[in-house]
Chain A
């Protein structure tokens, strides 16, 4: 079935780096723009980044621009989020998500289960 599975979360210190992965299955990964969304404890959802179908273009929220990098490996069906210079405010559950249709703008119809990132000294 269509599925996204995140991994790579954990507890890290401020200023360090972490790379999240999202393994896709059940659909043609290279056909879809992919996104990362996060949710801080007890807070709402925050869109973070998107990557084009071929990986050539990335789009970012101001809160992570310059610190986070979204990328993908279509041969492996995997989405990544490289997070550098982590701050305590980055503590959240990180979800990868697929949009409904091929193209640039649509709702998220498939979500991963989320991976928790804690930034603490």
Chain B
């Protein structure tokens, strides 16, 4: 199985900060990577697919990059709505796997 490892597990930041979350795959997944945002008590919401494509309706402050085994999610200027948990996920090979999640909390 492909293991997905996110870092950090928790990130403390302030409104307006630039935030970067990393996701590493245990083997190459090309660009078959998605990023999701999950707020408390809610289902995940797709932000980025194909490693760097922005989902329709998602603010442009969110961006994704990477390919192969190393990926990043960047929030260019953190907004109050962005305090949440972020998950990466590979859909290259079954079983599809998620990272353990990164909690972005208020500093």
Please tell me which one of the listed residues B43, B49, B94, B97 contacts residue A50 in the complex, with CB atoms under 8 A apart. Answer: B94
Partner of B100, one of A44, A50, A95, A107: A44
* CB contact under 8 A between A45 and B46, given known A105-B92, A109-B55: no
Evaluate whether A105 and B32 lie within 8 angstroms (CB atoms) in the complex, with A45-B89, A112-B43, A114-B43 already known: yes
Query: Provided the pairs A106-B49, A108-B34 are in contact, do residues A47 and B96 lie with their beta carbons within 8 angstroms?
Result: yes
B95 near A105 (CB under 8 angstroms)?
no
- B8 interface residue, CB < 8 Å from A? no
Judged by DSSP, the binding face of B is loop
Is B44 part of the binding interface, using a Cβ–Cβ cutoff of 8 Å?
Answer: yes
For B97, what are the chain A residues with a Cβ–Cβ distance below 8 Å?
47
Which residues of B lie under 8 Å from residue A112 when comparing CB positions?
Answer: 43
Complex CA gap A100/B95 in Å reads: 18
CB within 8 A of B43: which of A62, A100, A107, A113? A113
Chain A: interface residue total (CB-CB under 8 A): 22
Q: Cβ of B55 and Cβ of A45 under 8 Å apart? A: no
> If A45-B87, A107-B89, A109-B55 touch, does A59 touch B46 (CB 8 Å cutoff)?
no
Interface of B toward A, CB cutoff 8 Å: 1, 32, 34, 36, 43-46, 49-50, 55, 87, 89, 91-92, 94-101
17 inter-chain pairs at a CB distance below 8 angstroms, sorted by A residue, are A45-B36, A45-B87, A45-B101, A47-B96, A50-B94, A62-B1, A100-B49, A107-B34, A107-B46, A108-B34, A108-B44, A108-B46, A108-B89, A109-B55, A111-B43, A111-B45, A113-B43
